[in-house]
């Protein structure tokens, strides 16, 4: 609009320099948005108005809110506590109409090395020797007293006590532990195999089998054995301490034999005389040589000054003879009696300290010869534990690697009833096995085996074996026996009923074939107050041939074939070739499995 009168319009920018009005005005320092950022009405550039832009932003916010609500509903529907077992109905919920059962696969750790160990546990212990499968879940159960004490820390005492009726597989389970621990470098020691149950397995493992019986092999109880050699090798103060312990072990063994012959323990005076005689013999014997029981009798007959001083003879021959004659007669009873052929001569085969496994076989001793059985058991335990002590002494001196040992005492009821000295020795072993560096397994039938001992002190000591055991394994037992065991171990009513059902006899087979007892190969493992672990043991073909306790019941026509198969398995196991022998007996003929001789 032009003003009237020809006047020029007012120029508000007069006097200001060109381009003075930019992003910040020169008059007020106010920020002026760029032209591209200013809201304008639609013009020839096609840009949106301010109203249109607000509407677009509002629509985008509504869409984002709807997306967030959908994601929240989807997350809530897929939560663990709200997903149906067939899947959710929402998008991506994995809804399925038919639910197929999962397929079960079984493989070794070599075949399924990428899957093992499984990410989800089954609650069964997996530390130790693989024993079998859990009866309820089918999961693999592993365990043994040594690994549960050293690695898993489940138990505070590396010992196992096993009870069960005959023929249900007790020694089969111990044989499985023996094989597994040997593969881990542990040395199994079967010190007194009464049947034998473990001799073939020890041979297959490349171990040493020593036979003790009349006319077969003997053991010189005065031989210091591995402890004497270790003391001479170590030398110094440590060697002298080990030599003194060797002297005490030999003295206790002679006293134990005299106790068996007399039926009563020897007096303290007689033990002092024996100690003086043994020291006199040791001083007169060259290093590396041994002496025998006849040499001990000769020392008593001669009466050197050291021995006479102990008897307080005061220079009178009659007083000396009165003091030593009872001891002299008892030693003559050993030499000329039922024990002389076995313990009067030199040791036929010494225990090899470097052996991978050791089995002292006393199965050729007659069932009725209780004195010789007790003496052989005592001598085997004394010699075996002396070897363990020598191994640890050499390891402490840095002269040998550290080795662990696993001792097995099967048919515990037989040595317990033979002599009271064995009760004390086993009692000391169960209290000191942690310091001796060895785990042990004791096997018997029932707790009532301890009730047959001679005095109340021995009975109390035998009952203490179960109380101090870190693991207790039960095969089939009668209900009354399980009730007594429950007061010691702490068994629930369900566990008592389960183990009692395993002691039932097999049913009458309708087809005339063999039918296994319901409890064969089934065990309940208890550790303290924890719930018991019921397992089922399935032996392999190699174990079936190596461990058969029913060899006396094989027909004449089958004996040679089974002996040949066993020899072949021993050669295969020793050579490391298990092809064709390691299949589980469950895939074989049923009659072969039933005749496998679980004990």
- Give the pLDDT confidence of 110-144 residue by residue, as tens digits: 777 777 655 544 578 989 999 999 988 888 999 99
Q: Is the pLDDT of residue 18 over 70?
A: no
Cβ within 8 Å of residue 353, ≥6 positions away: 226, 230, 387, 390, 391
Confidence of residue 428 (pLDDT cuts 50, 70, 90): low
The CA–CA distances, whole Å, from 329 to 256, 268, 423 equal: 16, 17, 26
Do residues 234 and 397 lie in contact, with contact meaning Cβ atoms separated by under 8 Å?
yes
Question: For 23, which DSSP code?
Answer: S
| Nearest partner of 471 among 190, 144, 72, 221, judged by Cα | 144
Helix (H) or strand (E) holding 30: none
Distance CA 251, CA 545 (A): 42
Helix (H) or strand (E) holding 544: helix 541-546
HEC sequence for 81-135: CCCCCCCCCCCCCCCCCCCCCCCCCCCCCCCCCCCCCCCCCCCCCECCCEEEEEC
* Parallel/antiparallel/unpaired status of strands 533-536 and 130-134: antiparallel
pTM score: 0.69
Specify the pLDDT at position 445.
85
Confidence of residue 52 (pLDDT cuts 50, 70, 90): confident
Question: For 192, which DSSP code?
Answer: E
Q: Is the pLDDT of residue 181 over 90?
A: yes
Distance CA 464, CA 64 (A): 75
> What integer is the mean pLDDT of 497-511?
74
Specify the pLDDT at position 33.
62
Specify the pLDDT at position 506.
64
Position with higher pLDDT, 540 vs 4: 540
Q: Is the pLDDT of residue 3 over 60?
A: no
Distance CA 207, CA 199 (A): 9
Share of the chain above pLDDT 90, in %: 23
| Nearest partner of 162 among 457, 383, 470, 381, judged by Cα | 470
β-sheet with 208-211: strand ranges across: 140-142, 130-134, 533-536, 522-526, 471-474, 159-163, 438-444, 405-409, 187-193, 358-361, 208-211
Cβ within 8 Å of residue 463, ≥6 positions away: 447, 450, 488
The listed range with the strongest mean pLDDT (27-31, 90-94, 95-99, 527-531) is: 527-531
Average pLDDT, the chain: 79
Specify the pLDDT at position 265.
79
Least-confidence region, from 174-188, 271-285, 358-372, 571-585: 571-585
Position with higher pLDDT, 560 vs 173: 173
Position with higher pLDDT, 296 vs 506: 296
For 217-250, how does the pLDDT look when each residue is reduced to its tens digit (9 = 90+)? 889 989 988 988 999 999 999 999 989 988 988 8
Confidence of residue 1 (pLDDT cuts 50, 70, 90): very low
| Nearest partner of 201 among 594, 588, 493, 548, judged by Cα | 548
Specify the pLDDT at position 361.
92
Q: Is the pLDDT of residue 19 over 80?
A: no
Least-confidence region, from 138-152, 174-188, 196-210, 511-525: 511-525
Number of H helices, E strands in the chain: 20, 11
Specify the pLDDT at position 370.
79
Specify the pLDDT at position 378.
82
User: Dihedral of CA 363/369/373/379: which sign?
Assistant: negative
> What integer is the mean pLDDT of 175-191?
93
Least-confidence region, from 60-64, 374-378, 417-421: 417-421
Position with higher pLDDT, 143 vs 586: 143
| Nearest partner of 337 among 367, 384, 293, 377, judged by Cα | 293
Tokens found for residue 459: 């009975």
Helix (H) or strand (E) holding 551: none
Specify the pLDDT at position 202.
93
Position with higher pLDDT, 374 vs 420: 374
Cβ within 8 Å of residue 105, ≥6 positions away: 112
Specify the pLDDT at position 183.
92
Cβ within 8 Å of residue 161, ≥6 positions away: 441, 442, 465, 466, 469, 471, 472, 473
Q: Phi and psi dihedrals of 355, rounded to 5? A: -70, 150
- Residue whose token pair is 């070897």: 387
Distance CA 280, CA 305 (A): 10
Position with higher pLDDT, 194 vs 86: 194
> What integer is the mean pLDDT of 142-168?
90
Give buried/exposed letters for 334-357 (b at 16+ CB in 10 A, else e). Answer: bbeebbbebbbeebeebbebebeb
């Amino acid at each position: 609009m032009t003003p009237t009168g020809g006047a020029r319009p007012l120029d508000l920018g007069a006097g200001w320099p060109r381009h003075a009005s930019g992003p910040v005005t020169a008059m007020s320092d106010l920020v002026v948005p760029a032209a591209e950022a200013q809201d304008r009405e639609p013009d020839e550039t096609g840009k949106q108005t301010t109203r249109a832009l607000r509407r677009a932003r509002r629509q985008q916010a509504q869409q984002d809110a709807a997306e967030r609500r959908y994601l929240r509903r989807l997350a809530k529907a897929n939560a663990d506590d709200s997903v149906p077992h067939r899947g959710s109905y929402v998008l991506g919920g994995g809804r399925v109409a038919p639910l197929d059962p999962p397929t079960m696969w079984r493989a070794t750790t070599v075949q399924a090395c990428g899957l093992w160990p499984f990410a989800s546990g089954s609650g069964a212990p997996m530390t130790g020797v693989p024993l079998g499968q859990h009866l309820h879940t089918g999961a693999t159960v592993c365990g043994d007293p040594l690994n549960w004490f050293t690695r898993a820390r489940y138990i505070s005492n590396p010992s196992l006590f096993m009870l069960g009726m005959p023929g249900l597989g007790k020694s089969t389970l111990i044989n499985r532990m023996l094989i597994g621990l040997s593969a881990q470098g542990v040395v199994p020691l079967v010190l007194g195999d009464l049947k034998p149950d473990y001799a073939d397995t020890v041979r297959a493992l490349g171990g040493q089998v020593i036979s003790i019986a009349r006319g077969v092999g003997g053991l010189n109880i005065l031989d210091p054995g591995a402890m004497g050699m270790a003391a001479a090798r170590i030398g110094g103060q440590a060697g002298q301490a080990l030599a003194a312990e060797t002297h005490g072990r030999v003295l206790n063994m002679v006293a134990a034999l005299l106790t068996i012959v007399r039926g009563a323990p020897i007096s303290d005076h007689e033990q002092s005389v024996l100690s003086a005689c043994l020291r006199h013999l040791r001083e007169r014997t060259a290093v590396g040589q041994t002496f025998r029981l006849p040499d001990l009798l000769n020392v008593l007959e001669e009466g050197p000054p050291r021995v006479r001083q102990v008897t307080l003879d005061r220079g009178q021959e009659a007083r000396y003879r009165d003091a030593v004659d009872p001891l002299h007669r008892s030693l003559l009873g050993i030499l000329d009696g039922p024990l002389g052929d076995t313990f009067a001569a030199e040791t036929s085969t010494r225990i090899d300290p470097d052996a991978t496994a050791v089995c002292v076989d006393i199965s050729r001793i007659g069932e009725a010869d209780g004195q010789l059985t007790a003496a052989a058991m005592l001598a085997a335990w004394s010699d075996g534990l002396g070897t363990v002590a020598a191994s640890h002494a050499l390891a402490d001196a840095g002269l040998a690697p550290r080795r662990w040992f696993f001792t097995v005492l099967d048919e515990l009821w037989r040595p317990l009833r033979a002599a009271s000295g064995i009760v004390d020795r086993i009692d000391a072993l169960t209290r000191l096995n942690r310091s001796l560096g060895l785990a042990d397994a004791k096997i018997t039938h029932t707790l009532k085996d301890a009730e047959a001992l001679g005095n109340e002190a021995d009975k109390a000591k035998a009952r203490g074996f179960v109380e101090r055991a870190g693991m207790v394994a039960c095969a089939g037992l009668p209900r009354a026996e399980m009730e007594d065991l429950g007061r010691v171990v702490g068994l629930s009513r369900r566990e008592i009923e389960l183990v009692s059902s395993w002691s039932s006899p097999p049913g009458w087979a309708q087809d005339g074939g063999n039918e296994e007892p319901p409890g064969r190969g089934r065990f309940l493992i208890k550790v303290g107050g924890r719930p018991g672990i019921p397992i089922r043991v399935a032996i392999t073909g190699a174990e079936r041939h190596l461990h058969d306790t029913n060899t006396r019941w094989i027909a004449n026509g089958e004996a040679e074939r089974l002996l040949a198969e066993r020899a072949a398995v021993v050669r295969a196991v020793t050579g490391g070739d298990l092809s064709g022998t390691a299949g589980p007996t469950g895939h074989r003929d049923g009659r072969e499995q039933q005749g496998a001789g679980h004990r």
